[in-house]
Amino acid sequence: MPPSAIVNHRIVLHSRPVGAPTVDNFRLEERGIPLPEPGQVLLRTLYLSLDPYMRSRMSDEASYTAPVAVDEVMVGGTVSCVEASQHPDYQPGEHVLGYSGWQGYALSDGHDLTKLDTGIGMTHYTLALGVLGMPGLTAYRGLLDIGQPQAGETVVVAAASEAVGAVAGQIAKLKDCRVIGIAGGSDPCRFVVEELGFAACIDRYNADFAGQLAAVCPKGIDIYFENIGGAVFDAVLPLLNVHARIPLCGLTAHYNDSGLPQGPDRLGLLARTLLAKRIRMQGFTSFDDDGQHYEEFRGRMNTWVQEDKIKFREHIVDGLENAPQAFVELLAGHRYGGLLIRVGHEKEAVDEAAKADALSARS
Amino acid sequence: MPPSAIVNHRIVLHSRPVGAPTVDNFRLEERGIPLPEPGQVLLRTLYLSLDPYMRSRMSDEASYTAPVAVDEVMVGGTVSCVEASQHPDYQPGEHVLGYSGWQGYALSDGHDLTKLDTGIGMTHYTLALGVLGMPGLTAYRGLLDIGQPQAGETVVVAAASEAVGAVAGQIAKLKDCRVIGIAGGSDPCRFVVEELGFAACIDRYNADFAGQLAAVCPKGIDIYFENIGGAVFDAVLPLLNVHARIPLCGLTAHYNDSGLPQGPDRLGLLARTLLAKRIRMQGFTSFDDDGQHYEEFRGRMNTWVQEDKIKFREHIVDGLENAPQAFVELLAGHRYGGLLIRVGHEKEAVDEAAKADALSARS
C-alpha cells in the first residue's frame, strides 16, 4: 500500500507572509486519516487548484472571505474521489468537486460537494476546477454581467494568460470585441496571442508597458477586466472611454502590500475619472453567485468548450509537497492556464499499472 | 419700457478660478438683443437654475462636458418665454425649458427646447428646472438604476439638502429604506430631517462628522448617493457594507482642487475595498439619459409631487446680477432646495403690475 493511503499529508499556513509569500510560509504535516461518522464522506484528493485569491487568505486583513488561521490547512478547490461513505448520497468511487484544501484526505458532510460523474459531459474532471468551475464562472459573470460587451468594443484583460483572464478574453472574442491581453513575460504573451487568439498581448514587466498598451488601444478601452491593479491599472486609467466598465475580481499586485504606498493621494482622481467618464467599476467574486446562474453558466460554457470555441490550458504539477513552490511562481505572474496540483492518482490508473506490472512479470 | 427689454444682460466667465470660485471670476456684460432668423426663436429668460455641475465647467479640465471658454456666457438650464419666433413650432408667449445660460435673451433653433404649456400638468414652470428636470432625473436614475434600493436598507445621501440629494433621499424613503442625510450646516440638516423626513442628517462641517455618521449607521451603509467626495467619502468608505452601491453624480469637494492632495496614495485602498466588499461604484449624469427614460421619469415623479410624496423646495434669488454671489454660496454647501435666479418677469405679471400702477395713479 503506498504511503499516501495510510497518512494524510497536509500543508498548513506556517506564518503570515510579509510582502511576497515564500515557501517558508507553508509547512507540510502528516496526520492520521480520519474516519467518516454517520452523514460524512471521506474524500481522497486527486487534484488541487492553485489560484491567486489564496494569497489574500494568507493575510490577517479583512477581505471577501475570512483569513486562514496560522497552523490551519490552506483552503482550495479540489477534485476528489469518495474513499469511504457514511452518507446516503455518496458511494465509494464517485468523483466530486469540493473544497478539501491542500491535503490528501478530508471529511465532508456533502453540503459543499458537486458530483462530477453525472450531469453535463465533461471531457475530464479537472475542468470542474477551471473553465467549468470557479475561474470560468468568474470570467463569465464579470465579463457578461458587469462588462456587458458590445460588438466592436475594445476589451483589455489583465492576467490574460491565467485561468480567469484567458476565459474572459475568449468570451469577449465570441462577442465580437477586439481583445487585448496583459500578461507577465514573453512566453505567456505569446500563448495569449497564438493559442487564445487575442489581437495583442502586452508584457506588464516591459519598461514601456504603458506606452505599448496605449499603442494597441487607439480607440481607448471600453471594458477593462481587472485582476491585477497597481501599475497595470495606472496605465489603463487614462485610456478608459466614456461609459467604460471595470469588472474587478482580483488585485494581485496589491496582495503583497504592507501599508499604503507614497502619495500623492489619487483616490479622488479615481473617483473624478469614474464621474467624468461615467464609468462603472464593480468588485465581484464567483462565490456570490446563486445556483441558478451557475447552471446556466455551466451549460453554456460546456458547449463552448465542446465546440472548441473556448480553449483552456492546464498546467499540472505532481505532488502536494510541490504546491508551495508552484503557488509562489503563480503569484509572480509567469504562469499560463489553470495551475493544478496532482495530489493523488486515480484508483483505476493504479490498478491498470498493477495489472501491467503483473502482466510483464508473467511474460 | 424696462431696461431688460432693450438690452441683453449676460454673465460671462471672466477668468478661470484657482480653488473656490469668487464673484470676480464672472463679468456682467450688456449686448444688443439678437433677432431670430428663419427657423429660430428669440427666448426671454424667466428663470435660470444654478447647479453645482457648473463649477466643473469653469475649469479647463476634461470632465463629462466641455469647459466654458473664457469670455463666453456661462451655461445653465432655463425656463423662458418665446418673445419672437421665425420657427413654425413656436409661438410668442409659449413657455419652454431650454439651455439659454446666464443671460436675459437667447436664440434657439428649437432642438434643445421642451414645451412647458402642454403635456403633464405642472403646478408651476420652475419645477422643470428642479424635481421634474435635470436634478430630479439625476436623483431618480442614480438611486433606482444604480442604487437599486431594497426595503430595509440604509441609504446615505450626500448634499441631502440640495436639489438632487433631497429628491434622491425621498425616493429612497418611498422604497422603504432608512435614509440618512449629509448636509452643510445646522439649518440645512434641520430642513432635511423636519421637512424631508430623513431619519437623521449629519453636518459635514462638524469636527466629529465621521463619528456621528458611524453612530447613525449601526448596520453600515448599503447605498451611498455620492455628490461631494473628499472628507465625506473618507468617512463613508469604512462603513460600506458588502454589496454596497455608490451612484456617483458629483464631487463638489474636488471641484476646487488644484493638483492632487498629499499621500499616502489611497487609490489601491479604494479598489481593494470595492473588491473585498463587492461594491458597485458608478459615475453617471442625467445627460446620458435617452428620451424614453425621461418620459417614464417625468410621469412617475409628477405623480409623486402631486400626491405630496416628494417635496421640493425652491430658493429664488431676484436678478441676474446676483447669480455669481448666489453660485458662490451654493458651492459652500449651505443652501437647501433648488437654487433659481429670477432673470425676467412674466409678461402677465408686468402687465398686472402696470395695471395696478395705472389704477393707483388714477385713484
For the stretch A107-156, pLDDT in tens is: 999 999 989 876 555 557 899 999 999 999 999 999 999 999 999 999 99
Query: Three-state SS for A106?
Result: strand
Model confidence at A291, in pLDDT bands (50, 70, 90)?
low
Give A307-320 pLDDT, tens digit per residue.
Answer: 999 999 999 999 99
CB-based contact B250 A282, cutoff 8 Å: no
pLDDT over threshold 60, residue A80: yes
pLDDT, mean of residues A162-176: 97
pLDDT over threshold 70, residue B21: yes
Higher per-residue pLDDT: A345 or A175: A175
Mean pLDDT (chain A) is 89
Preferred mutation among A141, A272, A277, A286 to probe B, highest tally of B CBs within 10 A: A272
Q: Give the pLDDT score at A21.
A: 93
pLDDT over threshold 80, residue A177: yes
pLDDT, mean of residues A233-253: 95
pLDDT over threshold 80, residue B226: yes
Chain A residues near residue B226 by CB distance under 8 angstroms: 271
Q: Give the pLDDT score at A348.
A: 55
pLDDT over threshold 70, residue B119: no
Q: Give the pLDDT score at B350.
A: 47
- Chain B: nearest CA to A46, how far in angstroms? 30
Question: From A281, which residue of chain B is nearest by alpha-carbon distance?
Answer: B281
Q: Give the pLDDT score at B279.
A: 97
Q: Give the pLDDT score at B8.
A: 94
Of the candidates B275, B276, B283, the beta carbon closest to that of A278 is on B283
Of the candidates A263, A277, A283, the beta carbon closest to that of B264 is on A263
CB-based contact B278 A268, cutoff 8 Å: no
Give B256-307 pLDDT, tens digit per residue.
Answer: 777 889 989 999 999 999 999 999 999 998 877 666 678 889 889 999 999 9
> Under 8 Å CB-to-CB from B18, ≥6 apart: which residues?
B258
Of A30-34, A109-113, A153-157, A343-347, the range with the highest mean pLDDT is: A153-157
**What's the complex ipTM?**
0.89
pLDDT, mean of residues B45-73: 88
Of the candidates A248, A265, A270, the beta carbon closest to that of B275 is on A248
pLDDT over threshold 90, residue A11: yes
pLDDT, mean of residues B197-226: 97
pLDDT over threshold 70, residue A362: no
Mean pLDDT (chain B) is 89
Preferred mutation among B239, B252, B272, B285 to probe A, highest tally of A CBs within 10 A: B272
Higher per-residue pLDDT: B79 or A252: B79
Q: Of the candidates A26, A46, A37, A57, which has an alpha carbon nearest to the alpha carbon of residue A105?
A: A46
Q: Which of the residue ranges A18-27, A135-144, B352-361 would you say has the lowest mean pLDDT?
A: B352-361
**What is the value of pTM for the model shown?**
0.89
pLDDT over threshold 80, residue A62: no
Q: Give the pLDDT score at A290.
A: 60
pLDDT, mean of residues A281-302: 83
Q: Give the pLDDT score at B202.
A: 98
Query: Among residues of chain A, what percentage have pLDDT more than 70?
Result: 90
How many A/B residue pairs have CB atoms within 8 Å? Answer: 150
Kindly state whether B148 is in contact with chain A, defined as any CB-CB distance less than 8 angstroms.
no
pLDDT, mean of residues A49-53: 92
3-class DSSP string for chain B? CCHHHCCEEEEEECCCCCCCCCHHHEEEEEECCCCCCCCCEEEEEEEEEECCHHHHHCCCCCCCCCCCCCCCECCCCEEEEEEEECCCCCCCCCEEEECCCCECEEEECCCCCEECCCCCCCCCHHHHHCCCCHHHHHHHHHHHHHHCCCCCCEEEECCCCEHHHHHHHHHHHHCCCEEEEEECCHHHHHHHHHCCCCCEEEECCCCCHHHHHHHHCCCCEEEEEECCCHHHHHHHHHHEEEEEEEEECCCHHHCCCCCCCCCCCCHHHHHHHHHHCCCEEEECCHHHCCHHHHHHHHHHHHHHHHCCCCCCCEEEEECHHHHHHHHHHHHCCCCCEEEEEECCCCHHHHHHHHHHHHHHHHC
Q: Give the pLDDT score at A332.
A: 78
Higher per-residue pLDDT: A275 or B252: A275
Of the candidates B266, B271, B279, the beta carbon closest to that of A265 is on B266
Q: Which of the residue ranges A286-290, B6-10, B238-242, B334-338 would you say has the lowest mean pLDDT?
A: A286-290
Of the candidates B265, B279, B282, the beta carbon closest to that of A266 is on B265
Q: Give the pLDDT score at B64.
A: 64
Cα–chain-centroid distance for residue A9?
A: 23
Q: Which of the residue ranges A267-281, A326-340, B308-322 would you say has the lowest mean pLDDT?
A: A326-340
Kindly state whether B258 is in contact with chain A, defined as any CB-CB distance less than 8 angstroms.
no
